Chains A and B, each alone.
Chain A
Amino acid sequence: MTLLQDLRDSARHSKAFLLGLGILLVCGYLASGFYSVKPNQRGVVKRLGHVILDNVKPGMHYRLPWPVDAIQTLPATEIKTLSVSFGGTQNESGSDAALVTGDMNLLVVTLRLQYLIAEPGLFGTSLADPIGMLDQVAKHQAILQLSAMPVDEALTTGRQRIQRQIKSSLQRELSRLESGIQLSSVQLQTLAPPRKIAAAFSAVNTAREDRRRLVREAEGDRDRRLIKARAEGESILQAAQARASEAREIAQGDAERFLAVWQEYRHAKEITAYRVYLETLESVLPRVKMLVADPHAEQRPDTQGSSPPGSFLQQTEVQRK
């Protein structure tokens, strides 16, 4: 009984100390209800297992101490990334897990999902494994989208549509399943033919480039030739106009000269005509070889033996000037 005695004695002597200790313990217990939520976090408070606060903002807060209230903080505002990929690697069954398009071609696909926990109260409460579910549901959506689209569309114009559709239907699924997750973006990080036949696909791209190049060249050629033709046409036209105005001017000139001469001629017709005639002969005849034949030669005796019998009586060669 000495132990009890001792305890009783010491308790009696240090009553104030024990009281102080007791108060301190109680205060400490009550103070354990303070908690802080960091800026990138949101808190969920459960009282006896039931969620009473599902979106506690950053800062200092108070809850009832354990075992009544429990606090769980989640990095809710942080945008997280999840990659979902198909193909590229060998999967468990040994065959290439590339996605199949609507026209039964294979494509290697990697989706990059960005999401945040928009409703911390739901996250983890209604789904056992929200992230695992996000991964799987995204896979399902990708399968659905790709299997309804031909490969050429998927690789070109369909890309945006695939992203958009996956995002909207995936978000719908996540909301329906009460995951508390909000998608901020869905990107097709990879959307490509499998490596084994990538060369054939890039050959198609080259061919498409070639097609464009051929047409561009033909267009360039066409422009050049049309410009040249137009220039040529223009010069033909200019030449014709030149010729036309020339012809007009010449005609005008000739006419005016004629009229001028004619004005004078009218006053002395006979003389002028004769003069003009002779002047012409003067300029013409000195250049030509001239034979003068006598129309009456056959009636006359031959005066020149050396001449051949014929119509020539005289042969005059007019010297050149």
Chain B
Amino acid sequence: MTRKLMVAGALVVVLYLIGTSLLVVDDSEIVLVTRFGEPVREISTGGLALKWPDPIESAVRLDKRLHLVQADSSEFLTRDNKNLVAAAFVLWEISDPQRFVESVKQRAAAESRLVDLASSELGVAISQHEMTDFFATAPAENRIGEILSGVTQRCNHTAQDNFGIKVVDVRLRRLGFPEETVRSIYNRMQVEREKIAKKYRAEGEEQAARLRAMTDKEVREVLAGAYRKAQITKGEAEAKAIKIYADAFGKDPEFFKLVRTLDAYKSFFDDKTTLILSADSPLFRFLESPPKVAP
């Protein structure tokens, strides 16, 4: 019986040894192996690993993935004394498990330290820059990216040294203004919009007036052009008519004068005309003395 008990006991011991010296490490983990409480090595690749059984070596499992922690919004002052409300978020991962375990141990503690660190670095950075570094109308003038990479660098430096944490990014999840400023911005936007609306209307009126004036001018040009062509046409025709007349009448100017004068009489005498004729007029020649006809 005792032999059997001994076998059973040995089995339990072996199982215990296997259980505590075999280590399944997940890809998302990093394992810190401590010997009698003192860190001796890190296992950062996933798979099966070996260590001395438990009382000798024990394993501390840490999450090696990238974590995100959000800082609350807070108010900052820029160098030109303007208020900004900003909130950062921090992407971080454990870079030095030993230091991490020694200094902060828990993720929650680490995160609250990181949040404080990032907020204060952000505050410092904002206080060294002017409002126009954050808001610019051309992408090239906007320096948010540059400012944040500076903040990231400084946070990373401190976090590496103190907590064994690598700060991958400090980014903004909010960048705005305090409530009073927002109210005045609303007012300003309102006024600006009204101005723009007025400008559009004025522009419309101006363009319309310009078009109308241009139309006036063109209409007059068209009519004047038509008049000019009409006059030229008429002039040419009259010239031709004069030439026709001259050619024809030039053959016998005396006869022309006669005919034309007689024609003129027809048109300028009417029933309101009173003619005073001399009795000597050849018209009355035969009135007083009958014609002498040659025999």
Measured CA separation A260–B251 after assembly (Å): 12
Give the number of chain B interface residues (Cβ < 8 Å): 112
B120 contacts partner chain A, Cβ-Cβ < 8 Å: no
Q: What are 23 residue pairs bridging A and B, where the CB atoms are less than 8 Å apart in the complex? A: A48-B25, A50-B26, A95-B176, A127-B66, A128-B63, A139-B172, A140-B171, A147-B136, A148-B142, A177-B168, A196-B186, A200-B193, A203-B197, A218-B208, A229-B223, A233-B225, A258-B248, A265-B255, A284-B269, A289-B274, A290-B275, A290-B277, A295-B278
Contacts of B139 in A (CB 8 A): 148-149
Contact of B278 with A292 in the complex, beta carbons under 8 Å: yes
A239 contacts partner chain B, Cβ-Cβ < 8 Å: yes
A144 contacts partner chain B, Cβ-Cβ < 8 Å: yes
Contacts of B283 in A (CB 8 A): 281
Contact with A along B71-95 (1 / 0, CB 8 A): 0111000000000010001010000
Contact of B178 with A291 in the complex, beta carbons under 8 Å: no
Given contacts A49-B27, A287-B271, 16 further A-B contacts (CB under 8 A): A95-B176, A98-B182, A102-B138, A106-B182, A133-B68, A143-B173, A207-B196, A211-B207, A218-B208, A222-B211, A236-B223, A254-B248, A280-B265, A285-B269, A289-B274, A294-B279
Tell me the dominant secondary structure on chain B's binding face. Answer: helix
A252 contacts partner chain B, Cβ-Cβ < 8 Å: yes
Q: How far is the CB of B259 from chain A (nearest CB, A)?
A: 7
A232-B196 CB under 8 A given contacts A143-B172, A221-B215: no
Of B5-13, B51-59, B121-129, B239-247, the stretch lying at the interface with chain A is B239-247
Contact of B215 with A226 in the complex, beta carbons under 8 Å: yes
Measured CA separation A43–B213 after assembly (Å): 75
| Chain A, 170-185, CB within 8 A of any chain B CB | 177
Measured CA separation A147–B168 after assembly (Å): 23
Contacts of B141 in A (CB 8 A): 148
Contact of A229 with B200 in the complex, beta carbons under 8 Å: no
Pick from A102, A217, A320: contact of B142, CB under 8 Å: A102
A82 contacts partner chain B, Cβ-Cβ < 8 Å: no
Q: How far is the CB of A174 from chain B (nearest CB, A)?
A: 12
| Chain B, 208-238, CB within 8 A of any chain A CB | 208-209, 211-212, 214-215, 218-219, 222-223, 225-227, 229-231, 233-234, 236-238
Tell me the dominant secondary structure on chain A's binding face. Answer: helix
B109 contacts partner chain A, Cβ-Cβ < 8 Å: no
A200-B65 CB under 8 A given contacts A51-B46, A244-B237: no
Contact of A320 with B215 in the complex, beta carbons under 8 Å: no
Measured CA separation A127–B68 after assembly (Å): 9
Q: How far is the CB of A298 from chain B (nearest CB, A)?
A: 13
Contact of A277 with B215 in the complex, beta carbons under 8 Å: no
Contacts of A97 in B (CB 8 A): 174, 176
Contacts of A48 in B (CB 8 A): 24-25, 46-48
Contacts of A111 in B (CB 8 A): none
Contact of B189 with A105 in the complex, beta carbons under 8 Å: yes
**Which residue in chain B gives the minimum CB-CB distance to A84?**
B173
Of A15-23, A25-33, A56-64, A86-94, the stretch lying at the interface with chain B is A86-94
Contact of B67 with A128 in the complex, beta carbons under 8 Å: yes
Contacts of B176 in A (CB 8 A): 95-100, 106
Contact of A258 with B173 in the complex, beta carbons under 8 Å: no
**Which residue in chain A gives the minimum CB-CB distance to B199?**
A207
A149-B234 CB under 8 A given contacts A139-B174, A251-B241: no
